[in-house]
Amino acid sequence: MKMFAMFPGGWKWGRGASVVGVTFGTMACKEMRMRLCGKKVLRTVGLALVMVMGFGMMTGAWAERVYFAGYKGGFYIKSEEEGGMALRLGGSFQTDYRFYGESERADNGFDIRRARLLFRGELTRWIAYGMEFEFQGAETDNLVEAWAEVVGSPTRVRMGQFKEPFSLEWQSRDNALLFAERSMVYSLSPGRDVGMMVHADHASMGLTWALGVFNGDGRDGSEGTSEEDDPELAGRVTLQPFAGMGEGLLRGLLVGASGTWASIDTQNIDLSVKSTGMFGTSRNLYTLSHNTKFGVVQDVKDRLRVGAEAAWALGPALISGEYARMAYRDMVPVGGARSDAVLSSWYAQAAWSLTGEHFAVAGGRLKPVTPERYFNPEEGTWGAMVLAARYNRFNGDETWINPSAHVSVEEADQVSLALSWFPFPMVRATLDLSRTELSDDIRVNVQPDGTVDYIDEENVVTFRVSMDF
């Protein structure tokens, strides 16, 4: 492991090693520009380093500081003193190949699902921060997360853009999931938003809770609204009632509930529900916006979400499930009667580690699978193998479906089977087979002669290679 000491205007690697002579300011930018590919990456890394090192120079009063560099769940640089500065560099990369069983689909092929760069760290023992950037796609809103946090014990206060507290599946990291995509419950979840949250993890009690207030409009850079609306309130609580039982069978049992509420305007009516094969595409199996089959919605009261979750990690077995319900209440289309739009989804899944690794639930999240023996053919070790199965159901509100548009279904039932290989903790290869049966036809393609192709089921095979470090 390398160590280096920071002096005003330069770096020294190791104790007694020679000075590398990289100065701050313009010279550092030029050096970084030579070594990094792409302006976005250059700006991102440069900004993070300038923030952390600049803060260190201001708080360190030009004193010598010794830093350590290494890898533990991600690359890190941290100061020698306890409670000092730390910077952790990570990333997430996912590449897919998808094959559809329906001849009407023209979506077979390779895809870059995610390409993200993450920064986490502490400026002092009381101040933490996080930033996450997305480089996949042509969107201009590449900022996924950016937040600062006041660190207490155990209570923390976070402000910025981050995940709203809702759903076990949504709060768990991508590398803890055992299928190519999240369930349809995810489509009813609030996603990321800009706001402030108070949260705590009482590990000794097996209790976590979070309460937050958010804009209610989604990620910063999302289309704003023309009318005044109230902030969205969100909360989640989880409990592992037998967490202190040592090696008891119920030690890995978790139950939880979450909810959000916001008084919204009509521009906030924006819902798209996707099956496994529709993620990363413009296709949906249910859509709802302020322009409905009855005409433009001229008024809406509020938006309410409720959710319930449970998970049980029992050695090499894992059982989990969730239910989510979302309602736009008192919607009034032009010339129509006031009514609600109510949608729901639930799933149940089970997984088995074929190589004996134990699943874990902690901090209100599913923990990633860590192979007991890393991939090394010379020693005859091959990593971890996990087999998982999931049943997922979605119920739409038929009142707001326009049958002639063929863009929404009243019901969808999905069965997924996935085999995942973890050669190392940060690498995963997943083969996912998913079949979704639709209650109504969905339009998927318009031929050059004007004929329209429809599907009433989706059969998709997804092969994904992902790296999370």
Residue that has been written with the tokens 């090394």 in this structure? 376
Neighbours of 410 (CB within 10 A): 16
What pTM was estimated for this model as a whole? 0.84
Taking domain 162-469, whether its CATH number is 2.40.160.10 is answered by: yes
Strands (E), 279-426: 286-289, 291-292, 295-299, 302-314, 317-333, 339-353, 361-362, 365-366, 384-395, 411-424
| CB < 8 Å & 24+ apart, contacts of 109-113 | 111/280, 112/136, 113/279, 113/280, 113/464
Whether 436 and 444 have beta carbons less than 8 Å apart is answered as no
What is the rounded CA–CA span in Å between residue 452 and residue 393? Answer: 27
**What are the structural domain ranges in the chain?**
162-469
Residue 267, helix vs strand vs coil: helix
The one-digit pLDDT tens for each residue of the chain (469 residues) are 443 444 343 333 333 333 333 333 333 333 333 333 445 544 554 555 555 555 454 444 444 567 788 887 778 888 877 777 899 999 999 999 999 999 888 889 999 999 999 999 999 999 999 999 999 876 556 899 999 999 998 999 999 999 999 999 999 999 999 999 999 999 999 999 999 999 999 998 999 999 999 999 887 655 555 555 689 999 999 999 998 777 788 999 999 999 999 999 998 999 999 999 999 888 999 999 887 766 788 899 999 999 999 999 999 999 999 999 999 999 998 877 889 999 999 999 999 999 999 999 999 999 999 999 999 999 999 999 999 999 999 999 999 998 889 999 999 999 999 999 999 999 999 999 999 999 999 998 888 888 999 999 999 999 999 999 8
